Amino acid sequence: MLRFGTDGLRGLANAELTPELVMALGRAAARVLVKPIGGPTQRHRFVVGRDTRLSSPLLQAALSAGLASEGVDVLDVGVLPTPGVAHISVMESVPAAVVSASHNPYWDNGVKFFSTSGAKLSDEVESALESELGAVLSASRAKPPRANDEVGVIEADPTAAERYTQHLLACLGERGLRGLRVALDCANGAVFEVAPRVLRAAGAEVVAVLGNRPDGTNINQACGSTHPSGLAEAVVLERADLGLAFDGDADRLIAVDALGNVVDGDRLLALFATDLVGRGELAGRSVVVTVMTNLGFHQAMAAAGVQVHTVNVGDRYVLEALDANGWALGGEQSGHVIFRDLATTGDGLLTGLLLADLVVRRGRPLSELAAGAMRRMPQVLRNVPVGARDLLGQAPGLPVWQAVKQVETELSGQGRVLLRPSGTEPVVRVMVEAPSQEQAEAAADHLVTALQAALGGKEPSGEAVSQT
């Protein structure tokens, strides 16, 4: 049985993530996340949305059927960004689910859940949901079937996209984006209609829209936040002030400045943190990041008098730290940015709006603002497909850990190394930061070789991030 990762349940659609499994998951979710139904006068509801991949309507139907079979009414919001579904969840005060595999290719799919507060589930609740799913699949906790008027009703909500749009525009207050030229890459995903609508309604001139023709198989395909090169070309060609690239479910954002330079999540966070500090509006003078955040970010925040708090990878862990301490800003290098006063999860479109607003308010090009926000430590990332990624954390005696110690000794405290199994893909992520690009690449190559020897695997993929 598939298990929950850092962002819900995910697998190969109709092979690992089958309709039968997802229907059982819907039944389990109704039992764990919704209070028992007492009759027709005590109806309970569940919000369900999806992205644009080929299998999403199939799996959304299965999930909704499972929920309805347990007596839960389903509010179908259709194609809507993940943060949009979370927002509707908060407005309705009901739990929610999104059928999406985020930045993965179209053949993968997944299901992620939100509580009635619009937040992703805690580890404890996910464990309870996994346990109940196992029980449903094995029929070990059989319950009388719902019948007659206790069967749930599935109905569409045609107002969801507009409600989400109005929420985003309200976050700008009385300010607008008039005079700003913006290019978009919607990744052929869930934001393909709402993003251009929101930017135009905010007053921006949208000069180019890429990735806005989803066909079910082209989501994230050489486009969006994981492939921003096409957007960079469009920004330069159209003389846009900035570009905004989303992933398949639009819970993350990668930006591009007018010169075609990519502005990643670390630099976005640095921009927002320093801007908020300058206005005296950064709660606790603190920001929450993950272990993947570049060392240059930590150095920039120290210089700005901002405390940095580090958690495990996953925006839900960022949110937990924010809520536990009353802080308001956090995020990940991948482009998840959480403005806790305005949203309950990472929201790429909200982040893009606020970035555009920052550029307008400051009256300076994004290239200048981003360059001044932080100085990046050279960083190399490798995604290494291996035969048994879970063994990495279960076998501390693996020779690969000796290789890690060797690299750390060579860096002498002037860089760092991180190896971790991905929670969303069958790979181990290798990250090295070092004083020079050459040193980082050499160390990463050494670790990849050691990792493949220990766990077996194929050729890695990844990127080298230069110091700018």
Residues labelled as active-site residues: 102
The one-letter code for the residue type at 374 is: M
Q: If 0-12 CB within 10 Å is exposed, 13-18 middle and 19+ buried, where does residue 423 land? A: middle
Q: Which residues contact 295 (CB under 8 A, 6 or more apart)?
A: 377, 415, 416, 433
The one-letter code for the residue type at 200 is: R
What is d(CA 374, CA 449) in angstroms, rounded to the nearest whole number?
32
What is d(CA 214, CA 224) in angstroms, rounded to the nearest whole number?
12
Torsion of CA 76, 79, 81, 85, to 10 degrees: 0
User: 239-278 b/e with 16+ CB inside 10 Å = b?
Assistant: ebbbbbbbbbbbbbbbbbbbebbbbbbbbbbbbbbbbbbe
Run of H or E residues at 314:
none
- The token duo for 119 is 């937040």
Closest among 314, 292, 284 to 423, alpha carbons compared: 314
What is d(CA 335, CA 345) in angstroms, rounded to the nearest whole number?
12
Q: What angle do CA 466, 467, 468 make, to 5 degrees?
A: 110
Rounded to an integer, what is the distance from CA 202 to the centroid of its chain?
24
**DSSP letters of 337-383?**
EEETTT-SS--HHHHHHHHHHHHHHHTS-HHHHHHHH--PPPEEEEE
- β-strand 44-50 against 96-99: which pairing, if any? parallel
Is-contact 154 68, C-beta < 8 A? yes
Is-contact 463 226, C-beta < 8 A? no
Q: Which residues contact 397 (CB under 8 A, 6 or more apart)?
A: none
